[in-house]
Structure 1
């Protein structure tokens, strides 16, 4: 946690400045430590996690994927660089408290302690948003790394082919991964090992929503079919077999978990043309229930999961899309996808 120390120190200083607080003690423990807060109202214990550059999808991911649930009598506390007012509702719904380096905080122990400070502005740009890793090409490389089981990193040329980026882009990503402690070079064994995949997943999920997905959107459409499932049947029954497609979002999650489908049909497709849309009688619509995204990973079709009659995109893409949609049922389903398909791979490195 050394690289996060400046954030931790600033957050602890903000806590100590609260009038009711008498002492703040951060001790070693699960996650990023146990914090004991001594106040005029008593002592309170938190399980701490340090996060950078929170966006809505990144926070949703942090709330869904907690590796260390708090024990009875302990609450979760996120220490971060900045929490915009637009995210406070997520903390309130999840019963998770926070302190940021700007001085915003939410501390809730019903009947004993309630501290809520908001409106304080950040003092610096967060590293996570300024990183080359979160550029569209950087995110393509991260996806290629995270999509594979295990921690071994392939040869850079192979990785460039998998991610459909230049060899120079892979080299630049690798340098930053190494600088930030995500990439370990084992020269004697001639291996490159990916470390802290859970943190990289958090970075990727936020980057997908903020930087990568906007580049992938072909458009939204409305079909003459009322049920999006019928629109999907129309798509799969049409054409000469040249269209590659894979479900993501709710329809994909339903195929993976059987828990929730939703009313939005979201697909990765390649190739796509206005003539194909016309043939399907799909009309462009800014709020249509059908969203088409470009396939950005050359191995998308090869790695598509066949679940019944459904072709499902990689679970990492399904998970990120559910968090991007962000409604309560999507987030609830995202947790199931994470637990069943992602956690076994992520927790291994």
Structure 2
């Protein structure tokens, strides 16, 4: 038997944005452990805003397991937080969302790399050239000295873990980057986004770089950060149709406030109608329209089929993927029932 390092990862009780937490357990196994072999584990919820000091026990329930490319015999364990009686903790949003492997999500996670409180590449006390040349940029003046190295290593760590990381690129603003994760099933896709976030945060400790998830960290004529949600159901991919699509868009418009409520805090600072966004108080859809609430790919409307996938551009970079996926599926279910 060999000793394995189990890094348990969970979401705390902070609001409006939960933080990732982690602690390590050493345990012996004959080989890389399965999810069923991993024990539940307790923690002090009074230190994570999930319990009072007089009754502070909370429970970590393993729900997904990944190999850790940075540790010998390393295991990453995504957990739900449970109450001692076995019921989900109120901060456990994963437990209540609809899950179906026929529903596919592709999340586009944008973020800023920060050093000493400013984005990487910003000169001290000033600003770089206006945005425009940084998107998918190449060269030191566009992407700096370590940003691509961090993004590349993060990609490799995600792939080693079995996370379906699909790509990276430098984004529109200086110091802004994006990675994409695709998953079949809302829980699987959201788990992998959270674990990818964890791996990025842990990696950047080595570089003394911070990750800024806020959706609008720079005021002025700079793009904010989104987490665009590409989604499809089996019905949307296989059947679709214009009548179905228009009913779905009506349902999204009708539930606009409910969507915005869970798409991440401070979205009013990002969804202004500028910088490839629709205004937060409006709903629209458009073919290949990056300024719409829902972008409809050309492939979706090809030959008037109206089937495939759609992109909701409103979720922001701080959003909880469990809440986002759950809300989108609720709206779809109201049409597909």
- TM-score where L is the length of structure 1: 0.28
Q: Which structure has the highest helix share of the two?
A: 1
Structure ranking higher on relative contact order (CA contacts 8 Å, 6+ apart): 2
- TM-score where L is the length of structure 2: 0.29
